[in-house]
Amino acid sequence: MEVDSNGHGHTGGDWPNRWSHLSQVLTRKGPFSHPNFQAGPETLSLVRDMVRLCIIGAGGLGCELLKNLAYMGFRNMHVIDMDTIDVSNLNRQFLFRPNDVGKFKAEVAADFINRRIPGANVKAHNGMIQDFDEDFYRQFHVIICGLDSIVARRWINGMVLSLVTPGEDGQPPTGVIPIIDGGTEGFKGHARVILPGMTACIECTLDLYPPQVNFPLCTIAHTPRLPEHCIEYARILLWPKENPFGGEETSIDGDDPNHISWIYEKALERANHYHITGVTHRLTQGVVKRIIPAVASTNAVIAAVCAMETFKLTTSCADPLNNYMMFNDSEGIYSYAYEAEKNEKCLACSRRTQTLNFGKTKKLQDLIEYLVNQASFQMKNPGLTTNIEGKNKTLYMPNVASIEAATRHNLKKTLDELGLTSGSELVVADSTSPRPLIVKLNLED
C-alpha cells in the first residue's frame, strides 16, 4: 500500500516547500551556531547530494535511523545487517511486517525506505561488517551504529581508527570518519559521538560495557536458589547429557518451541524438587536466549538523537554532542551529557605498544584467559603468534580446526618453555579488532 503524503505521486523529485523546515535552520545563522557554519542553500545540497552515510544494524535502532536520516534530507546511505526478521522484532522494528518474517533485515529496511521516501537511495548489505575492507569504509562521511553487540562496536572502532593518519607537528589528524553510536536496553539508552583519534573511542571506555556475569557452575549444579539456576541446570548440564532431540548433539535453538519446552519442563522439575518458585515459560526463554527487554520508544529517542548529531556534525549548524549522553525514562525522563575522556593507555587509539607483565612459569592457557578476562582486553577467542629468533611461530590459533589441533598442546606449556623471553612481541588476533594487537611481554620470575 502506498499513501503518498504529498498527493502528487513524485518518484524522485522534490515538490515546493519539501525542505522548507530544514532550510530554516540551514540558511540562517543563529547566535549559537558553530563557527564553521556556512548558512545557505549549499548546505542543504551538501546533505542531500554529497554526504554518504553508513548505518550499521537494521534492527530496533537501525530502522529508526534510516527513517530519521532520510527525513532529515540524507539520501545516500548504506545499511549493513546479517540478521533475518523474527516475530519478536515487530513490536518496534517498524519497517517490517508479519509477512517479512524470515527475510533479511537490511534488504527489507532499505526497500521500504526507498519506496516510501522519494529520492532516498539506500543500499542494503545482507552480511557482516567484517566482510568489508578499508576501501569500503573510507567512502563514508559518518558511520552510525545501532548495534547490540560490543564485539561489533569494537571491530568497527578499530577499523575506523585504522583509517586515521595522525597529523604531524601538532596538525589535526586526517582521514577521520566520525562514529555515532547508539545503544538501548529497556528504558535506558546512550548516544555518543566519536572522532577517532581525537576523542574517546569505544576501547577507551570499555568499562562502560561490563562483561556478562554468569552463575557459578557449582551453584547451578549443587545449590540452586533461583528459578534461573534451575533453567541453567537444564540448559548447561542436562541438555548435553540427555541430548533429548537425538541426532548428533543437537544444539539448543532458542527459537524452537520444542527445545524451550523441554528445558522449561526439566527446570520446573528441578525447581519443584527444591521448592523454588518462579520458573515460567517466559523466563526460560529469556534465560536461554539471553533476552534483553526492548521498547520502541527508547529506540525512537536514541536513534533520533543520533540522527540529530549526524545532521549537526555534517552541517555545523549547531554544536555536536561532546561526547556522551545517557538517557533513562523509567522514573521521569533523565539524561546526562558529559565528555568521556580518552584513555592514554587505550589498546586501540593510543598508538602505544602494550606491555604485559606475566610470570614466566605461567602457561599459555593462563595468558589467554588473562586476555579474555582482564577488563582492559575483554577478548573473545584470541589467537597468538610470535617471532622467535627471526622465525614466525604460531602459538595458538583457535579459529582454524587443523591449526587449533596442531597448536593445542602449547596451551599447557609455560611461556618459558615456548621460548618466549622479556621483550618478545606477541601478535594477538581477535574478533574484537580488525587488526592484530601487538603486545610486548615482560616476563617475571
Confirm or reject binding of residue 275 to other proteins (CB under 8 A).
yes
Q: Which is nearer to other proteins, 157 or 285 (CB)?
A: 285
- Which of residues 80, 120, 159, 260 is near other proteins by CB under 8 A? 260
φ/ψ bin of 131: left (φ > 0), alpha (ψ from -120 to 50), beta (otherwise):
alpha
Confirm or reject binding of residue 422 to other proteins (CB under 8 A).
no
- Taking the CA atoms of residue 270, residue 276, residue 281 and residue 282 in that order, the dihedral angle to the nearest 10 degrees is -140
Count Cβ atoms within 10 A of the Cβ of residue 123 and give its class: 0-12 exposed, 13-18 middle, 19 or more buried.
middle
Strands (E), 69-194: 76-80, 121-125, 142-146, 179-185, 188-194
| Shortest CB 169 distance to other proteins, Å | 33
- Which of residues 303, 379, 415, 420 is near other proteins by CB under 8 A? 303
Q: Which is nearer to other proteins, 9 or 12 (CB)?
A: 9
| Shortest CB 72 distance to other proteins, Å | 5
Give residue 51's Cα distance to chain centre: 23
Confirm or reject binding of residue 319 to other proteins (CB under 8 A).
yes
Q: Which of 218, 306, 317, 349 is catalytic?
A: 218
Site string for other proteins, 93-112 (x = CB under 8 A): -x--xx--x-----------
Q: Which is nearer to other proteins, 144 or 202 (CB)?
A: 144
| Shortest CB 14 distance to other proteins, Å | 15
Site for other proteins in 29-68 (CB under 8 A): 29-32, 64, 68
Q: Quick one: CA dihedral 247, 253, 255, 261, positive or negative?
A: positive
Site for other proteins in 194-253 (CB under 8 A): 219, 223-226, 245, 247, 250-251, 253
Site string for other proteins, 168-187 (x = CB under 8 A): ------------------xx
Q: Which is nearer to other proteins, 109 or 379 (CB)?
A: 109
Q: Which is nearer to other proteins, 124 or 301 (CB)?
A: 301
Confirm or reject binding of residue 313 to other proteins (CB under 8 A).
no
Cα gap 201→137, rounded to integer Å: 17
Three-class secondary structure assignment of 178-196: CEEEEEEEECEEEEEEECC
- Which of residues 236, 308, 340, 372 is near other proteins by CB under 8 A? 308
> For residue 127, what are the CA distances in angstroms to 239, 309, 378?
31, 26, 25
Q: Quick one: CA dihedral 255, 127, 137, 72, positive or negative?
A: negative
- Count of residues that interact with other proteins, criterion CB under 8 A: 91
Strands (E), 22-130: 52-56, 76-80, 121-125
Q: Quick one: CA dihedral 109, 110, 114, 115, positive or negative?
A: negative
| Shortest CB 229 distance to other proteins, Å | 9
DSSP state of 84: B
| Shortest CB 179 distance to other proteins, Å | 17
Considering only the stretches 77-85, 171-179, 292-300, 433-441, report the one whose residues sit in contact with other proteins under the rule CB under 8 A: 292-300
Contacts of 178 (CB under 8 A, 6+ apart): 142, 143, 193, 194, 195, 196, 313
- Which of residues 168, 331, 344, 445 is near other proteins by CB under 8 A? 331
Confirm or reject binding of residue 19 to other proteins (CB under 8 A).
no
Q: Which is nearer to other proteins, 122 or 260 (CB)?
A: 260
218 is catalytic: yes
| Shortest CB 374 distance to other proteins, Å | 21
Q: Which is nearer to other proteins, 302 or 367 (CB)?
A: 302
Q: Which residue has the cell 569504509?
A: 137
- Which of residues 44, 46, 72, 238 is near other proteins by CB under 8 A? 72
CB atoms within 10 A of CB 121: 16
Confirm or reject binding of residue 311 to other proteins (CB under 8 A).
yes
Confirm or reject binding of residue 402 to other proteins (CB under 8 A).
no
Nine-digit cell at 151? 564485539
Site for other proteins in 336-395 (CB under 8 A): 337
Confirm or reject binding of residue 13 to other proteins (CB under 8 A).
no
Cα gap 441→244, rounded to integer Å: 47
Q: Which is nearer to other proteins, 174 or 330 (CB)?
A: 330
φ/ψ bin of 266: left (φ > 0), alpha (ψ from -120 to 50), beta (otherwise):
alpha
The catalytic site residues sit at: 218
